[in-house]
Structures are given as C-alpha cells and as structure tokens.
Amino acid sequence: TIQGDDDERIGYPTQKPEALLERIIKASSNEGDIVLDCFVGSGTTAAVAEKLGRRWIAADINKGAIQTTIKRLQKLPDTQLGIAHYRVNNYDASTDLERRDIVIKKYGVQTDRQEAFFDGTLDGTLVKIIDLTKPLTPLDIQTIKDELENRPEESRNITVFCYGTNSNIQAELKAENRRRAVNKMFVRDIGSEGVTTFEPASAAVDFERNGESVKITIADYISPTILARMDIDRTIFDEQIDDFRAQIDCVLIDTDYTGEHFKIVESDLPKKKEDFVDGEYTVSLPRSDARVAIKIIDMLGEETVVTEQG
C-alpha cells in the first residue's frame, strides 16, 4: 500500500502505488483494451488505465470508494469528457443494516449474537428479516426451509418480516402450515403495516435556459437519513445549520441525460472537507433538445437525481 508520506496518497487505506498498477496494466493489455476492477477502492486502477489509453470499468459496493474514484478521475488533466456512472440494485450494506434495526426496534425482536442465520426471536418464534429492498420471493422461503432441514431438533415457528409480497406466497404458506405440526411460517409485510424503513432525500433544483446554455441552481436539499443520524427534526436543523449545502458531498451534471445512465460531463468536487459545493452552475448544451440532469451525492453517499422538465 501507499506509505504515509507518499505524494500519491489520498487517504484511502488500501491504496496501491500507480507504478505497480502501471506495470500490471502495460504487461497484460494494449491501448483500447478494457480493464476491469471489481473492488476499485481509491480508484488507482481506473486512473492509471485512463492515463495509459485503456478503457475501464470500475465497481465497488462502498459508496465512499466510488466518490473517491470519481473525484480522482476528474482531476486528471487529460481525462475523457464523460464518465458513465451506474448504480446497480440500489444496494447499500450500511443502509440494509439500518433497515433491519428499524424492524428489530419497532417490533421488539430479541436478538442473539450466537445465532448466524435467524435475526432473533419474537413471542416464542424464530425471526427472519428478509432483504427489505425487495419483495419476498419463493427463493427466500426456500432458503429458510433449507436452514431448518439442518436443524431437525428445531420445533419453533418462524416469523418472516419482509417489505412487499404477493398473494401466491401467502396462500402457499397457509396451505403448508395446515400440514405442518412445527416450523410453521408466518409472514409480516411491514409495508402493509405502515412501517417505513427509508425516506429518500429531496432536492429543490431550478433550471433556467438561456440560448445554448442552462443555469442550474440548487435551492434546497434535505436528507431525512442525515436528520435521523443527527437526531434532530427539520425545524431544529434549519436553526442549527446555516447552509443546507453542509449535507452535500459532491454534485455531478449530465448535459444530455437519457434516463438509461448518467454520464458525468461537469462536476463540483470540493477540495477540502470543510468546503461547500457551489450550488449554482451554468453548462453548455450539446443540442437544443438535450435534457439536463443533476446528481447530488450527500455526506452519507445517498444519491438524488433531478432532471430538467420538458
């Protein structure tokens, strides 16, 4: 890894020297080839591949790694004009744990650190909390059945918490429960019970066209997740925080947004942590009917995309 006094160092713990990646990429690829890094980290692979004339694909489950990589690439003097940014499955490990904790606290689930598969117990039943970013599927139920087959002595019933399901699964489980003496499964759809595990951030953005350019102004931004982390409501936030931009980590702009992917044409990446994004931008349009979109990424990595109407 990079040493503490190295000029390349950007503060990422797993950062590797560019010279090392340069040797590897030169030895294993030619100009125009595609270099893939599935754990991009600090972005060294993508940065070196860009410098060496390679195309590249960079991925990471850590939002901080993606933001670090984007910032690093935008600082390259001869970088390509656009970087396509895709978010796959909306998966976020930290947010997933937060949603699970909401269910545990809301329903009073008793957790057990010694238990590897189930999430705890509730009223004498075992509890399994399914991925709350998607509806319950037959595969989820089968996974529970497979686990129970490895526990022949287990006689408790199972409470399955999910966020969305379908009538077929419910009907099938009811039929199975009538045939079972033990290990009956009962599904609780927290969405239908009025439990919200995630409230997205909201942004007020103005777009003002003037000939071949567009002026973009971020008028307001608020993240319920950040408010929850700070344990304050919006009124107190407005009193204590002088500028809503304190929540925003960076701003990305696509001047020809198609809705399929986000191509970064302009970016606002503050050099210092204490600096704010500008919040006002004027960008040139590639053509008169192009649609502009702005992506706001906040301090917790949540992304909010706002597009120009019309």
pLDDT for position 60: 85
In a domain, 194, yes or no: no
Q: Which bin fits 297, alpha (ψ -120 to 50), beta or left (φ > 0)?
A: beta
Domain check: are 228 and 180 in the same one?
Answer: no
- Note whether 300 and 225 are within 8 A (CB): yes
In a domain, 9, yes or no: no
pLDDT for position 263: 87
Domain check: are 299 and 236 in the same one?
Answer: yes
pLDDT for position 8: 63
pLDDT for position 233: 61
Residue 261 burial (10 A CB sphere; 0-12, 13-18, 19+): exposed
Number of domains in the chain: 3
Report residue 270: phi and psi, to 5°. -55, 140
CATH number, residue 264: 2.60.40
For residue 215, give every residue at least 6 positions away whose Cβ sits within 8 Å of its Cβ, in sequence order, or none. 206, 207, 208, 280, 281, 282
Q: Which two tokens stand for residue 169?
A: 């699964």
Q: What is the pLDDT of residues 125-175, one digit of tens each?
A: 999 999 887 788 888 999 999 999 999 999 999 999 998 887 688 888 999
Domain check: are 183 and 97 in the same one?
Answer: yes
| Full pLDDT tens readout for the chain, 310 residues | 445 445 566 666 667 888 999 999 999 999 999 999 999 888 899 999 999 999 999 998 777 788 788 878 877 776 555 677 676 655 555 566 777 888 898 889 999 888 999 999 999 999 999 988 778 888 899 999 999 999 999 999 999 999 888 768 888 899 999 999 999 999 998 877 766 666 778 999 999 999 899 999 999 999 887 776 666 666 666 666 778 998 898 899 999 998 878 888 888 988 777 889 999 999 999 998 999 999 998 887 788 999 997 5
Assessment of whether the complete model's pTM goes beyond 0.75: no
In whole angstroms, what is the distance from residue 125 CA to residue 147 CA? 15
Domain check: are 154 and 216 in the same one?
Answer: no
What is the domain range of residue 151? 93-189
Q: Which two tokens stand for residue 234?
A: 């919006």
Question: Which amino acid does the sequence have at 186?
Answer: F
In a domain, 12, yes or no: no
In a domain, 56, yes or no: yes
In a domain, 10, yes or no: no
- Note whether 228 and 201 are within 8 A (CB): no
Domain check: are 173 and 104 in the same one?
Answer: yes
